[in-house]
Structure 1
Amino acid sequence: MSSDTIEGPKEFQLKLDWWTRHKICVGIARGLAYLHEESRLKIVHRDIKATNVLLDRDLNPKISDFGLAKLDEEDKTHISTKIAGT
């Protein structure tokens, strides 16, 4: 799905009701929770924004662009979260 679907010219925009927006937000949160807590490799994305979330046909969010991501090392107590993206 292209970015025009949500932000582009009116003739290409998809009208999203609040339930659909909620579903997308919860899906993004679940994806981030998976990366931080459940994945074998703990990953901190560090550049989450609308343009780094893709939607499939069913409007399920997919997190993309891991160029600024960091692996969480178990023995460290915190990770630098200074501004890294755009």
Structure 2
Amino acid sequence: FVAALEQFCGSAAGLSAATITRLTRQWQDEARAFHDRSLAGVDYVYLWVDGIHLKVRLEADKVCLLVMIGVRADGSKELVALADGYR
């Protein structure tokens, strides 16, 4: 995770181990809440579902990020779901 943050923020960002731990916990909590939210009251008129193939340095296999985007009646789009998969 440290290597990924350095690639994203730059090595001069000066992120301490405590900061990385706190950010990791916060992002995991946010991801869990996003995944567990109810969509029972949401109406979509259209859904796009696709896979984005990524080459991840830490993995031998190519990773596929499965993405679902919903379109509401007013035309606004929102991310509905993300999941990982393999090619």
TM-score with structure 1 setting the length = 0.37
- State the structure with bigger RCO (CA 8 A, min sep 6), 1 or 2: 1
Q: Which has the larger radius of gyration?
A: 2
